[in-house]
Every structure is written in C-alpha cells, then in structure tokens.
Amino acid sequence: MKRCGNNLLHKCHPHKSSKDYDRSDTSWKDEIENEEMSKLINADCLTALKDIPDDSIDCIVTSPPYNLKGLKGVGVPKTSPARWNGKYKQATYGLDYAGDNMREEDYQQWQVDILNECYRVIKPGGSVFYNHKNRRFKCQLYSPMEFIDRCDLVLHQQIIWDRCSSHIPCPGMLGNSTEFIYWLRKEKPVVYKPDGLLWKCEVWRQMPVQGKKRPNHPAPFPIELPTNCILLTTQPGDVVLDPFAGSGTTLVAAKQLGREYIGIEVSKEYCELIGKRLNDILEF
C-alpha cells in the first residue's frame, strides 16, 4: 500500500506512456477486462469507444465540448487563433473536428451516440458523470436534457456545479453561474459515500481552475469534481474512463486515488499535456 495525495491509502498503479492509437492492436482489450493497465488513447472518442468491451468500466467522468460556435452559427476557420489563458495560441480544442463547431442537430446526435456507447461499456452497477450546461442563443435556452433524454442511460440525479462566478448577463436575464453534472446509470449504481467525500449533497460549490494551477487548456476541469465522482462510486483498482480527456484532470484524479484509468483524446497536443501531468504525480 502507498500513500498518494488526499490522505488516502491505496495501491498506486504505474502510468503507461501515451502512444498513438493503433486499431490493429486489440491486445489492450484483455488488459482492460483484467484491470491490469491504465491507458491513454489518441483517437476520435466514438471510434475508440466502440472497441472497449461491454460492461468493462466502473465509472465514466467526462465533459464534452459544448458546440457553442455551432449553436450560434459563428464558426471560425481552422487557421484562426483562439485566445485563452491570457495568450493567443493556435488552438486545436473547440474547432470543427473537436465538436464545438457542428450543426446543432449533428452535435446532439453525436452526443447521443457517445452516451449510448457509454451505456454499453459501463458495468451494470457503474455510473456515468456527464458535465454539460444550458446554452443560450437568441433569447432561447438549449438544455442538454434535450438529447440526454434520447440516450439509453437513465438519469439518476442532476448535480449542480456552482461555479461561484458568472459572466456579465445580457439585458433581460440573470447571470448564469452554474453547470450540471448529470449522474447517469444503466442499472442501480453502486454508491460508497466514504468519509473523504468533498460534497454529500447535490450542489457542489467550486470555482473554475485559475492562475498557475490552470493547465494549458481552454476549459480545464477542477480536479475536485472528478475526485468526488470517483470517490462516490468506485474503489481502488476500479476502472475510470474519460472519452473527452482534454487536459487529463479525470485521469489525474483517478491515478491519485489508485484507480485504473482510460483516457481518449483526439488531440496529440493534449495527449502530451496529459502524459506530463500524469508523470508529475508523486508516488510515495
């Protein structure tokens, strides 16, 4: 047994180096079923999900791109810089291929397809935590429930993420300071509620990542959120999946808590970032 952050005792599993996803190499499927390996897959999420065995994952924690450009019809060319984290950079996140500049009907169907794959791979007692938010365009609210209701997963509980801050509201509306974490299930989920839980109610107050702690990514997940999800529904050695790994926060939380992890990320740049973050976790 080793001690790795958050004052939790667990077995720390070694991080495997990230590599390009090779569809001809399916040996990792048996490794997932035997829970012997953590893995980062550089591939399209829906493509990679289809190769994960049925009923093999204990917990899924993820946050997809929100299709903000596609909803508003203000897409940007792939050569346009994106401004985030105080700097102008050639961003790969949030552009067409990453799901943030799609026709809204195509985006919603894409999300339904991904959620249905999550239904297939999650164990009967497993949980899916799906972060999304209400979007607005032309004074109309677009709720994620419009497409979540169309998937095979069952809504177990709607968790409110209070971000403790708000964008300047448009005239005639209140500021939006919340997002949602939809707790979805296949069958009745296994729930542990250990003493280390950060929140035991359905409102989680946590500011977004700021300052030096912010990874080089436009929308990093506060690590407290996946940590609470993982503690709530898994035990050391269980398998945690994030099909939109992004900056890798879910994988970092899983490794810190002694869980196996599988991350899927289409961007090689972010796979490199994830690898560095995982390797920086001290094990002692």
* Mean of pLDDT values over 97-107: 71
Beta-carbon count within 10 A of 124 CB: 11
Supply the pTM of this predicted model: 0.78
State pLDDT tens for residues 48-76.
Answer: 999 999 999 999 999 998 886 656 565 44
pLDDT of 215 > 70? The answer is: no
C-beta of residue 8 within 8 angstroms of C-beta of residue 271: no
User: 117 exposed, middle or buried (CB, 10 Å; 0-12, 13-18, 19+)?
Assistant: buried
Assigned token pair, 226:
């996946």
Q: How far apart are the first and last CA of the chain?
A: 10
Please, which residues have CB within 8 angstroms of residue 223's CB and are 6 or more apart in sequence? 209, 249, 252, 253
Beta-carbon count within 10 A of 180 CB: 18
* Mean of pLDDT values over 213-228: 76
Residue scoring higher pLDDT (193 or 87): 193
pLDDT value for 69? 62
Cα 78–Cα 79–Cα 81 angle in degrees, nearest 5: 100
User: If residue 147 lies in a helix (H) or strand (E), which one and from where to where?
Assistant: helix 145-148
pLDDT of 31 > 70? The answer is: no
State pLDDT tens for residues 140-155.
Answer: 888 899 999 999 999 9
* Mean of pLDDT values over 68-86: 46
**Separation of alpha carbons 150 and 61, rounded Å:** 19
* Mean of pLDDT values over 231-250: 95
pLDDT of 24 > 80? The answer is: no
pLDDT value for 99? 54
Average pLDDT, the chain: 77
Confidence bin at 174 (pLDDT 50/70/90): confident
pLDDT value for 13? 34
Q: Is 117 helix (H, G, I), strand (E, B) or coil?
A: helix
Domain boundaries, the chain: 2-279
Confidence bin at 196 (pLDDT 50/70/90): confident
User: If residue 111 lies in a helix (H) or strand (E), which one and from where to where?
Assistant: helix 104-121
pLDDT value for 87? 35
CATH number of 2-279: 3.40.50.150
Assigned token pair, 239:
């398998």
Confidence bin at 163 (pLDDT 50/70/90): confident
C-beta of residue 184 within 8 angstroms of C-beta of residue 153: yes
Assigned token pair, 211:
């300052």
pLDDT of 241 > 90? The answer is: yes
